[in-house]
Amino acid sequence: MSEKMKKSNDEWKSMLSGEEFYVTRLKGTERAFTGKYHDCKDEGIYKCVCCGVELFSSETKYDSGSGWPSFYAPAKETNIQSEVDSSNNMIRTEVKCSNCEAHLGHVFTDGPKPTGLRYCINSASLNLEINI
């Protein structure tokens, strides 16, 4: 990915649902246990809802009990980026798509082996491509 995908808010609004826009472009968060993938057991690749980049694999998905889809590793390290998020009187690490800069969720250091990481991701930022 040499050049990042850039679109105006009007362009994003025309291609995303209201919730997808709120989560990915306005850095919102869906309510816990409400997202379409929080309890999904289907095998496949989770892609960015905005640009289609591969983000996470069902092979690294696990039930963290948090109410959001959780993964212990990204599909490809280069497809995500992180930055400090100090909103809501907290210091967290925000996770974004490296191609279109969509907000995906946050990463925490309380995950399982082998990485010890918990990528806590909003379902609204993902599309699952099911393995057949």
Using alpha carbons, list the distances in angstroms from residue 4 to 44, 79, 102, 111. 25, 11, 11, 30
Q: Are 131 and 54 in contact (CB under 8 A)?
A: no
Reduced to 3 states (helix: H, G, I; strand: E, B; else coil), residue 27 is coil
Catalytic residue among 50, 97, 100, 120: 120
| Active site (annotated) includes residue 51 | no
For Cα atoms 90, 75, 107, give the angle at the middle one, nearest 5 degrees.
Answer: 10
Active site positions, annotated: 120
